[in-house]
Amino acid sequence: MTDRPARLGFPVKVLGKPDLKSNDSRRSGNNPHLKVSLEYVDAILDYLDRHRIPMYRLSSELAPYATHPDMPQFHGMVQESAAELRAIGEKAKRLDIRLSFHPSQFVVLNSPDPALVRKSIWDLTSQAEMLDLMELGPEAVLVIHVGGTYGDRRTSAARWVETWKILPEPVRRRLVLEHDDLRFSAADVLWIHEQTGVRLIFDYQHFWCLNPEGLLLRDTVAAILATWPEGVRPKIHFSSPRTELRQVKRTDKTTRKSTLVNMAPVWTGHADFCNPFEFATFMRVVDGLEFDVMLEAKAKDLALGRLRPDLLRYAPDVASRFGLSGAETERLEREEASLLEAEPV
């Protein structure tokens, strides 16, 4: 074990301060640019530092239209923003904030369509270039899923392995593969790692949703963490499933009237907040293993702000892994209250 506390982070959108944008979302006719997005990121870094949040996932749309095949006027924006990217990287390192990307679901490396694979590689290359221009270390990664099964899961996994062989070096150096909740299990990505050496991400909720091989929790986490090189802190994803009753609109075939039907939850859905008892139980099961935690709760930074005082109250042994102490309980509770007042959920 090192002396460095584990990090907690959240992805993209800041809910505690709604005026903080995560990227330049203007349409192409308004000439959006990466430089504008980086001004927003600079303000987000200040927010993260103020609230002692040491990890953040950048928007996959940070460089708008940079890889759009029909808009060459945007293709040079990453290089045009080299100085600004370097400045953001220096600031993130100075504040000790870990940054990463999770490219969109349209990035698919195992597609049987060569055009989609080429476009996916282009997207990954652009995001790897941004991280390189920020001069960030190997903890700054690109997280993707395997992709579709296309009727044959094993063949589709093998096709991912073949695509790995043609990826540019900056992409292979940054890429991390995550199992999912419907198609490719932890066992599947461990197989892909054996063929390629790609690093892996463990996702807590996905593990429970898709584990047909019956792998054990701690053993799986340990095996996935071991895919990271010595001296580089792995990270995992954590979320709790939604438990609320769902009300779905249905049309009565006889009357043609629309009615609301009560339905049970879908366990692949992410909850707004993280269940602190579930989180603490998991962290105790994997005690002794080192990693950072990206919270994928829908309430983003508000969920992180709630989890910290919850851990101090209900699981101080787990809170200590994240550098939290009992002396901070009142401060964290005040901070969480102020965040919730800023953006009700």
Over the stretch 218-250, which tens digit does the pLDDT of each residue have? 999 999 999 999 999 999 999 999 999 998 988
Residue 345 has pLDDT above 60, yes or no: no
pLDDT at position 254, please? 81
The 3-class secondary structure across the chain, one letter per residue, is: CCCCCCCEEEECCCCCCCCCCCCCCCCHHHCCCHHHHHHHHHHHHHHHHHCCCCEEEECCCCCCCCCCCCCHHHCCHHHHCHHHHHHHHHHHHHHCCEEEECCCCCCCCCCCCHHHHHHHHHHHHHHHHHHHHCCCCCCCCEEEECCCCCCCHHHHHHHHHHHHCCCCHHHHHHEEEECCCCCCCHHHHHHHHHHHCCEEEEEHHHHHHCCCCCCCHHHHHHHHHCCCCCCCCCEEEECCECCCCEEEEEECCCCCCEEEEEECCCCCCECCCCCHHHHHHHHHHCCCCCCEEEECCCCHHHHHHHHHHHHHHHCHHHHHHHCCCHHHHHHHHHHHHHHHHHCCC
> Rounded mean pLDDT of 308-336?
84
Q: What is the mean pLDDT of the chain?
A: 94
Segment 5-14 shows an average pLDDT of 97
pLDDT band at 150 (very low <50, low <70, confident <90, very high): very high
Report pLDDT digits (tens) over 207-220.
999 999 999 999 99
**How large is the average pLDDT for residues 137-141?**
98
Model confidence pLDDT, tens digit, residues 56-77: 999 999 999 999 999 999 999 9
